[in-house]
A and B are shown apart, each in its own frame.
Chain A
């Protein structure tokens, strides 16, 4: 059974710092990995999608990497801003069966002005 783990569960950093969020998964048979952002009481906003054949994707100040063989992904946020405060979720899309997304429990990020 696929399991996705995100560490740390919560992170608080001062504004302007660069930071890394971690995601690990147990089964490398995936189609892709998605990083989402979720603001309190809101839905999921897709940030980046990395196909299983890719190593990284970039969007603005965000860079996500994928090492499928080791079952790891990182989300790098450069020059953090208070507006980046949110919960960040990673999810892998399974190859088998429903091809559903299996989610980690998220990292709650707080950027302090």
Chain B
């Protein structure tokens, strides 16, 4: 009964370092999303994927890259971390099934990332 699993849960990086956040879902969902949550800004979409091998930009994609080589996994990469990327990152997934109105987004527990 895992649902959406994010690793790691916490990480501290130095400016300029790189890292990859992993999101895994076991619900066979087509759609996957990466959001960031910042005080006063709410949750904003970084990148998303509508299926294996496809990705697209969201509202705030700069400084991030993503890959979806397997349907169940969605990776978020920071090539050169900056203090502005200090945030809480949430991954979500949902089904493309019909009716779309009945399909909730399921969220992971988040990754708290600090860039010094």
B79 on the interface (CB 8 Å rule)? no
B40 near A99 with CB under 8 A, answer no
| Option from B100, B102, B104, B106 in Cβ contact (under 8 Å) with A99 | B100
B19 on the interface (CB 8 Å rule)? no
Chain B: residues with CB nearer than 8 A to chain A?
31, 33, 35, 40-43, 45, 48, 50, 56, 58, 90, 92, 94, 99-110, 112
A101 near B105 with CB under 8 A, answer yes
A44 near B104 with CB under 8 A, answer no
Q: What are 19 A-B interface contacts by the 8 Å CB criterion?
A: A34-B104, A34-B105, A42-B109, A43-B108, A49-B104, A51-B101, A51-B102, A91-B105, A93-B100, A95-B100, A98-B33, A98-B45, A98-B48, A98-B56, A98-B58, A100-B33, A101-B33, A101-B35, A106-B42
Report B115 CB to chain A, min CB distance, Å. Answer: 18
| Option from B50, B92, B112 in Cβ contact (under 8 Å) with A101 | B92
* Complex interface: chain A residues within 8 A of B100 (CB): 31-32, 93, 95, 99
A104 near B104 with CB under 8 A, answer no
- Return the chain B residue nearest A30 by Cβ: B101
A81 on the interface (CB 8 Å rule)? no
* Complex interface: chain B residues within 8 A of A93 (CB): 100-101, 103, 105
